[in-house]
Amino acid sequence: METTHRKPNNVYPTKNIWLIIIALLVFTNCLLAQKHNEAYEDVSLGWIKIYNYKGAIKPLQIDEKKYSIAQLSVIDSFANWMQASYQPKGSLGDIKKYVTPKKNLYHERYNEAVPHSYGANANSYTFLKQINGKWQPYMNFANYWTIAANEIPLTYREIDFNTSKTCLFTLPQYDEKSLADDLNSLDAKTKRLFDLSAHPLLKKYIYYNLKAYNKDFGNNLIILSKNNRFPYLPVTLGEALQFAEDAFPVKYAEQKKTAIEQNSYDASHLQMAMKNLDEKFSKAKATIIQLREKYKTRSNEQAYMKYGGYSIQDLSNGSDIFENGNAKQDGSFDKSYPLFRVDPEMQAKCSTDKPQWILIKWFGGAMTDVSFKHMHESIINNFDFDYIYNFFFDPEKVKGIAYKPLRSPATEEKLVVTEKSTDAKKMEADASVFYFEDFSTTPAGQRPNGWKSEMNSEAKPATVVNVRGRQEKWLEIKGQSFVSPQNIKLPLPQNFEISFDLAVPKDIAWGAKALEIYLGTKNKYDENAPSLNLRLRAGFYGRAGEGSVSGKFENGYFNTSNYFDATGFSNDKEFNNVKITLRKYGELFEFYIDKNKIVDIPKAFPATTSFNWVQFKHLNSDADNQKYFISNIKIIKL
């Protein structure tokens, strides 16, 4: 595999913009059409190839930057360490080696000012298709794990103020006050999922939990450097204004060239374009003078960007680029996007054979996705950060010792199976019982054996739990939108009765999302196919809950929604449980809560309807007690 210059992943040539739009539309349609990795999301597909790199044999030059054999061999080590520590699951992995981007690959990137950097990406492709029985990537979407020497976050650069001599960038932060004010916000949940501040090994290193920015997902970023020296310096207000002013001649020349190219066909248009350009920069310079005066006593304070970065147009409009409309009453700034530059002393040494710092980051997916969560857990549990630190910054400690992951990347969660309950054994021997599940074979805290569950916003699947004061086991469903038995013989009998115990904790909120029970005629969830969908949520203070049953059957059968009071299902007890029963007999559908008949539809569906899918669904959980428990699921033939 050849080492190449790195192509920034968030900037594209203008001429390709329509290709990008088309690609995004295709991607969106693929997502809408089906869950892209359903066939392989639990399969350890591993790597396209295990490279076992042996080190570089010749140097490389990209523009003025020269990469020695020693530096290129470091990239090989990065790649080998990643492949030794991680085995992709639900995705297919490959290694891409790179060095600093070419300086004119995209003229607005000013890559001359980027430190002399080099690294490797582990790309785990999530959109796959089978060719001759083998999975292969068919779209360039992936989860990414990067290890690089002397790198800055390229996609977070302050483009408008950067030049070939200056490189400013941000490390997007979460607003800690906003997180504290709303612990259930998306930002708060995301930060908790990625948080490594208490990790026993990683907490001693420089660590950032970066917030999503522009088109990028949030990511974990860890920096290893001698004695934890931070390689980036905060940019002050005074420095930011100076860097902006220094950039004016460069930006003016570029925009003048563009104006000439776009208006060469008409002298009057060109004259007007140049007049507007001169006015734009004149106003921007005037704003710089005003801001220097405004912040003359605060010029040494840290500068912060706005979302999307500063622009010369902001200055031309007379905007205070530091306030961004979000200045606090005490005069402080929104600190979500602090402005940084590379420490000049460290940058001057980046071209030497020894890395000045090692940047490790992983991004590209959500923790609720099986493949990304597996990557995350592999990195934090398998990868030996201490070995990497010592290899570069305290080499005597690992002299003569080969890298070895802390844990085998092939380690898989072992599902424990416990003995069936007496009731389960009795049901198994009863010929009238088509299916029974009381979760007795699954230990508490484990995903239910024989079931499949998507993860909720806390990256947790539905799990089996013990409830205080109860002997039986329960399946806790808390914000999982897909929970389905996989060990059930389908289709269901032509005439059947489904019953199960349903419970909610005390004081579950009246506005909590309902639990849904879906019976479908296809062999997967399909909201447009003939199906039956039952929704239930508990009442409050002993009052009845509410629910609905919806049918999708044509030709005079049930094809609407019926709403009802869920008699006896409330939230006032310590544990609020009821018996739910659904009965199909011929065209008849009946629904009971305990012994109370709630719904009776004589002509619900054709008598020959075959149901091929059973699924439970809970869309969202906004608090710890907003969850449902089910147990003793029984299906009998009528």
Strand order, beta sheet including 531-537: 451-453, 483-485, 613-618, 515-520, 531-537, 545-551, 561-566
Inter-residue contact 250 to 206 (CB < 8 Å): no
Band of pLDDT at residue 14, cut at 50, 70 and 90 = very low
Quick one: what percent of the chain has pLDDT higher than 90?
71
Band of pLDDT at residue 25, cut at 50, 70 and 90 = very low
Band of pLDDT at residue 106, cut at 50, 70 and 90 = low
Inter-residue contact 191 to 459 (CB < 8 Å): no
| Joined tokens for residue 535 | 């929704």
pLDDT given for residue 328 in this prediction: 58
Inter-residue contact 516 to 617 (CB < 8 Å): yes
Helix (H) or strand (E) holding 414: none
Dump pLDDT digits (tens) for 492-521: 999 999 999 999 999 999 889 999 999 999
pLDDT given for residue 546 in this prediction: 95
pLDDT given for residue 214 in this prediction: 56
Strand order, beta sheet including 339-342: 169-170, 339-342, 232-234
pLDDT given for residue 139 in this prediction: 83
Inter-residue contact 56 to 77 (CB < 8 Å): no
The secondary structure of residue 625, as a DSSP letter, is T
Inter-residue contact 528 to 555 (CB < 8 Å): no
Strand partners, 537: 546
- Between CA 179 and CA 191 the distance in angstroms is 9
Band of pLDDT at residue 365, cut at 50, 70 and 90 = confident
Dump pLDDT digits (tens) for 201-214: 899 999 998 887 65
Inter-residue contact 151 to 135 (CB < 8 Å): no
- Evaluated on CA atoms 452, 458, 464, 470, the torsion sign reads negative
Quick one: what percent of the chain has pLDDT higher than 70?
91
The secondary structure of residue 445, as a DSSP letter, is T
To the nearest 10 degrees (0 to 180), the angle between helices 69-85 and 370-382 is 110
Tell me which amino acid residue 451 is.
W
- Between CA 513 and CA 571 the distance in angstroms is 14
**Beta strand spans in 371-510 (E):** 433-437, 451-453, 463-466, 473-477, 483-485, 496-505
Q: What distances in angstroms separate CA 362 from CA 170, 190, 529, one per listed residue?
A: 17, 14, 39
pLDDT given for residue 33 in this prediction: 34
Looking up tokens 């999982």, which residue turns up?
480
The residue with greater pLDDT, 270 or 20, is: 270
Q: Provide the 10 A C-beta neighbour count for residue 562.
A: 15
pLDDT given for residue 495 in this prediction: 96
Average pLDDT over all residues of the chain: 89
Q: Provide the 10 A C-beta neighbour count for residue 221.
A: 19
pLDDT given for residue 331 in this prediction: 63
- Between CA 604 and CA 591 the distance in angstroms is 12
| Joined tokens for residue 396 | 């005597």
Q: On the CB side of 486, how many CA atoms lie within 13 Å of its CA?
A: 9
Band of pLDDT at residue 215, cut at 50, 70 and 90 = low
Inter-residue contact 339 to 239 (CB < 8 Å): no
The whole-model pTM stands at 0.86
- Between CA 475 and CA 487 the distance in angstroms is 16
Q: Is the pLDDT of residue 329 over 70?
A: no
Inter-residue contact 497 to 635 (CB < 8 Å): yes
Q: Is the pLDDT of residue 550 over 90?
A: yes
Cβ-based neighbours of 395, under 8 Å, separated by 6 or more = none
For the segment 177-196, the average pLDDT, to the nearest whole number, is 83
CA nearest to 515, candidates 443, 621, 596: 621
Dump pLDDT digits (tens) for 450-488: 999 999 988 899 999 999 878 899 999 999 999 999 999
Dump pLDDT digits (tens) for 112-145: 899 999 999 999 999 999 999 899 998 888 999 9
Tell me which amino acid residue 121 is.
N
Torsion of Cα atoms, 452 then 458 then 463 then 466, to 10° = -170
Torsion of Cα atoms, 354 then 355 then 357 then 359, to 10° = -150
Inter-residue contact 149 to 142 (CB < 8 Å): no
**Beta strand spans in 261-407 (E):** 339-342, 357-363
Helix (H) or strand (E) holding 156: none
Q: CA 391, 392, 396 angle in degrees (round to 5)?
A: 55
The verdict on whether omega for the bond into residue 485 sits within 30 degrees of 0, i.e. cis, is no
| Lowest pLDDT segment from 34-38, 373-377, 540-544 | 34-38
3-state secondary structure of 49: coil
pLDDT given for residue 216 in this prediction: 55
Band of pLDDT at residue 571, cut at 50, 70 and 90 = very high
Inter-residue contact 322 to 161 (CB < 8 Å): no
Q: Provide the 10 A C-beta neighbour count for residue 503.
A: 21
Inter-residue contact 88 to 44 (CB < 8 Å): yes
Domains belonging to the chain, first-starting first, are 4-231+343-398 (no CATH), 237-341 (no CATH), 422-637 (2.60.120.200)
- Between CA 152 and CA 156 the distance in angstroms is 9
Kindly tell me the burial class for residue 575, based on how many C-beta atoms sit within 10 Å of its own C-beta (0-12, 13-18, 19 or more): middle
User: Torsions phi, psi of 116, nearest 5?
Assistant: -65, 100
Helix (H) or strand (E) holding 517: strand 515-520
